[in-house]
Amino acid sequence: MRTAGQIRLLLWKNWTQRKRQKVRFFMEIMWPVFLFIGLVWLRRANPLYRQHECHFPNKAMPSAGVLPWIQGIVCNANNPCFQYSTRGESPGLVSNYNNSILARFYSDAQELLLSDPEFLQLGRLWRELTTMSTFMDTLRTNPEQVAGRGVKVEDILKDDETLTSYLLRDVRLTESVVFQLVNAQIRAEEFAFGVPDLHLKDIACSQTLLERFLIFPGRWGAYMVHNAMCVLTPQKLQTIEDRLYANVDFFKLFRLASD
């Protein structure tokens, strides 16, 4: 039998079975139709919307360290999508949270307990923490006792700090502006109840807010810093803040708080 005859015989057999099983034949016809109608309904009920390019935070493996691994699981539980590149996409970085409070505390604790020989004794560490706790209680209960004193930025920076060179070389601030910033005093009483809910751009572009948080060494310090910092982008200001945190020597801060 030729191929054409075999095909005709197969079609005749198939058609005969379908005529004998009318319910099955009806369902074979209508089931795809119902699926198509459902898809059309879903398409009309949920109109299309434009989705920007997604950058997902990376999730470190346990080999990267306990803290990056836990942060990658907990902080990315809802799998957020960002329009911009995340920090962890940079070469050599495994975590997006190196500037978080927990990461800085973990890094400072490691430096405090393992690196600095002056603070290997737990007794002295306890005294320093007690002094800092007393200082914070004073800020909250009697802020007038420390009002106007301030903590000089230069005095709490690490000996090998890179903040000054970064401001001069990368941000391209003048030496006079950098001098005003580094030698300014931070008003500790303004941070008695945490960091104020203000954007860095708002502070940089307001001479009043600058003088609220900083005591400048020169008469025109706030004016010079205001003009130099206000033109910077929010991303650049955030980078400067991160650099400041990375260069703060908390041991010096403890000592200054105890004086």
Q: What is the pLDDT of residues 60-117, one digit of tens each?
A: 777 777 777 877 777 777 777 878 777 667 776 666 666 566 666 666 666 666 665 6
End-to-end CA distance of the chain: 107
How much is the mean pLDDT over the chain? 76
Domain ranges of the chain: 3-45, 120-258
Q: What is the pLDDT of residues 35-53, one digit of tens each?
A: 999 988 988 887 777 777 8
Note if the pTM is more than 0.85. no
The Cα 161–Cα 157 span in angstroms is 6
The Cα 193–Cα 115 span in angstroms is 31
Residue 97's pLDDT is what?
Answer: 62
3-class DSSP state of 82: strand
Helical packing angle, 66-74 and 101-110, nearest 10°: 170
The Cα 79–Cα 57 span in angstroms is 8
The Cα 203–Cα 240 span in angstroms is 13
Number of neighbouring beta carbons within 10 Å of residue 187: 19
Find tokens 């391209």 and name the residue.
172
CB-count burial class (<10 Å; 0-12, 13-18, 19+) for 71:
buried
Inter-CA distances, 206 with 147, 183, 230, Å:
21, 19, 8
Both structure tokens of 48: 């299309």
